[in-house]
Structure 1
């Protein structure tokens, strides 16, 4: 990162090498705090035990999010309790799903639903995903063939949503949504899944896959901290606005990679 005279921000810091990874579906898990710190700033209660799995409860205790890498198959579980006119629902994500895609759904849990009818397929089609219908099943596949989204019925006839990504070496993750999962949450997931935005990973945390593309960037620690704090601040501001009855809602997703420094694609 080039320094400018008279600019004290970042003075004396050493730039660190990170990588912007594309496609995001194959970028690996990432930092759990991308999900957990946003939820904490949104008023969610941390129920995690010391050295135990991550457990977070929504302010109304209607939804619980957990991450446990120490059980098989391991990963994320999101459970919504049954309520009036709504069945209980569950979403599960494999441990290698990028946290940015998880956050697409979990961030949506902190926002009020819009009046628009959800359309799970629209974000995928907008990004050029190929859709097909067969025997009551609907599928969408990313242009590179690495990721998919499906609506299907299991052998017992139960409807469910299923998604995932896999490279040619067989590395990847899967996601399953019960049929009762609120559709606006499934759409929020599909938006994050289809996003063309790369995700950032530190050196040494890049999956070994011939199907990913990386761009090397030099980033100051203070920049990383500022991007993380911007996301947390947005969550706190939105929480305050809701609690105070304010009409406007601030942006709740930060795009920290606009000008991350010197780049070198490989």
Structure 2
């Protein structure tokens, strides 16, 4: 299900009339445009398996291992859930995300499913520590404003839990959104998510777009709407190229080792 010219044109029309505002911190920027997620997966060859007229979306990967469910209006629970089936060499896993997770951050997680996995030996806490987040002795980290907390869980099916609360009341206020990764989720995927989450660069939102909290800071962006569309289109081209390269790699025939010729006995004189 590649992204059609009509779909790209609709994305461009949506953003053409919006005045972009730099919005930070990222965890309070609000959901943004869900097409950052769905267009990216479509560019990688995922297909919709749900009723086109339903607000719910189900996308399935070409190898049928991965499934992304989007269920709006599911209250404080997960609006997005990604399932990975088990293989002969890898276990299955799940990850879930709340309503107000920024689409660009969720998109970095789904993009990492297509990109080649890195051999990095670092974990999510190392990522946010390098970004200046505050670590504590309980295996958790907090954003500089205290609104976002990442915690490594032990004795639980959830390996990493992320919660965002209003910066004015911190963890004592209502939860704005969450992300949870089970204990079998590949660490490079979690790292991709928290790397984008902890990036201090602002996200772009329209003047009247919903943010996650009133304390989000917005300033007129130097970017033009056309530039936002160009970045989106370039990202889709990169994802398509990565998906094609991965398919070519998987389609390569396995070369059997050459048969060893038995040594002949020396001829008798």
TM bucket (normalised to shorter chain) is 0.7 to 0.9
Contact 2:21–2:221 (Cα < 8 Å) also in 1:
yes
Hey, what's the Cα distance between the residues in 2 that align with 1:24 and 1:220? 19
Contact 2:49–2:58 (Cα < 8 Å) also in 1:
yes
**Structure 1's 221 and 132: CA in aligned 2 closer, same or farther, altered over 3 A?**
closer
Listed one character per residue, the Cα deviations across residues 90-124 of structure 1 (whole Å, up to 9, x for unaligned) are: 11100101011111211101112122334221210
Give the TM-score normalised by structure 1: 0.77
Hey, what's the Cα distance between the residues in 2 that align with 1:144 and 1:79? 32
1:64 is matched with 67
1:83 is matched with 87
Contact 1:64–1:80 (Cα < 8 Å) also in 2:
yes
123, 130, 134: which one aligns with 2:134: 130
Hey, what's the Cα distance between the residues in 2 that align with 1:243 and 1:78? 21
Hey, what's the Cα distance between the residues in 1 that align with 2:122 and 2:213? 34
Q: 1:128 offset after TM fit, Å?
A: 0.8
Aligned length: 227
Contact 1:28–1:98 (Cα < 8 Å) also in 2:
yes
Q: Does 1:102 align with 2:124?
A: no
Larger Rg: 2
179, 194, 205: which one aligns with 2:183: 179
Q: Does 1:149 align with 2:150?
A: yes
Contact 2:19–2:225 (Cα < 8 Å) also in 1:
no
1:38 is matched with 40
Unaligned runs of 5+ in 2: 1-15, 250-269
Q: Which has the higher helix share?
A: 2
Write the mapping of 1:220-235 to structure 2, written as runs, cut at 5 A.
220-235=224-239
Hey, what's the Cα distance between the residues in 1 that align with 2:158 and 2:213? 33
Contact 2:153–2:160 (Cα < 8 Å) also in 1:
yes
Hey, what's the Cα distance between the residues in 2 that align with 1:35 and 1:189? 13
**Structure 1's 159 and 221: CA in aligned 2 closer, same or farther, altered over 3 A?**
closer
Unaligned runs of 5+ in 1: 1-13, 246-266
Q: Which has the higher strand share?
A: 1
Hey, what's the Cα distance between the residues in 1 that align with 2:18 and 2:88? 51
**Structure 1's 51 and 219: CA in aligned 2 closer, same or farther, altered over 3 A?**
farther
Secondary structure (helix, strand or coil) at the match of 1:117 reads: coil
Cα RMSD after superposing both structures: 2.2
